[in-house]
Amino acid sequence: MEKNDIFFNTKEEFSGSDLTFILSLCEKLFPAPKTAYITQAKDVKEIPIVSYLDENVLKAFDRNKYGIGYESEYENPSIRITKQEGKGFISIPLIKEDEYHLTKKMVLELIENLDLKELSVSPVNFRSFNRRYRKNQRTADFPGLYWLQYYGAEEFKRQGGKAILDNPYIEAQLIKDGVFIQVGDSPYDVHTTEGEERMIKANAAMPPVRND
């Protein structure tokens, strides 16, 4: 099976309660972990665990500024959560044959339950995807559309407000005071001819960025 990392970027640092919720969500959605990897200044500490909410791991999160990796059985998701000043990241390897429902479900759960200003989920092969926006990026945090993204109130307004809902190439859903957007059925779509064409049209149909 082909595996590829997919990245959640919340554009803001995780709080302690955010981390607890994220780990509780992992506990509900993914296979139980068997190992935690705690990144430290000069090395990585490896400890056996049976739960994402392992007490030693939670303590490590409190004092650790780098990140924690979790490993499950072979071919099951291996998850990495990183908190750093101003940003929070979650990395989950996907298996191509999956239907990606867990990824989308996790995104919607995060939006509904955390006070997120922004969130993006990169497609597979992020670097090649990101190059397409190098010259004509919309904003610093959102150079162009990703597979999944959430614009909170401020970013929603900046990206064009309710005019976004008129874009015929996206699926858009108003949540809280922002908008959740999906382009294509999976993070692999953009690497197909049809999916790439849809992504190009979706970006072209976005309203102008507002800087007022």
The string of pLDDT tens digits covering residues 188-199 is: 787 789 988 998
pLDDT of residue 1: 38
Lowest mean pLDDT among 118-122, 131-135, 161-165, 207-211: 131-135
Please give the Cα distance from 17 to 22 (Å, whole number): 9
* Res. 123: pLDDT tops 60: no
Residue 207: per-residue pLDDT:
96
Between the ranges 60-74, 94-108, 169-183, where is the mean pLDDT highest? 169-183
Does 14 share its domain with 92? yes
Query: Sorting pLDDT into bands at 50, 70 and 90, what band is 201?
Result: very high
Q: Name the percent of the chain lying above pLDDT 90.
A: 25
Is there a single domain that holds both residue 30 and residue 107? yes
- For residue 38, pLDDT over 60 is answered with yes
> What's the CA gap between 193 and 204, in Å, rounded?
17
Domain end marker among 116, 149, 184: 116
Residues written for the chain: 212
Q: What are phi and psi of 179, to 5 degrees?
A: -135, 135
Compute the average pLDDT of residues 17-32.
84
Are 101 and 151 contained in the same domain?
A: no
From 100, 116, 132, give the residue that closes a domain: 116
Mean pLDDT, residues 94-106: 64
Exposure string for 113-122, b = 16+ CB within 10 A, e = fewer: ebebbbbbbb
146 shares its domain with 201? yes
Domain span including residue 179 = 123-212
Pick the closest to residue 76 from 102, 54, 58, 53 (CA basis).
102
Q: pTM score, two decimals?
A: 0.81
Number of domains in the chain: 2
Same domain, 129 and 164: yes
> Same domain for 154 and 111?
no
The domain boundary, picked from 63, 92, 116, lies at: 116
Residue 164: is its pLDDT beyond 90? yes
Mean pLDDT of 103-111: 85
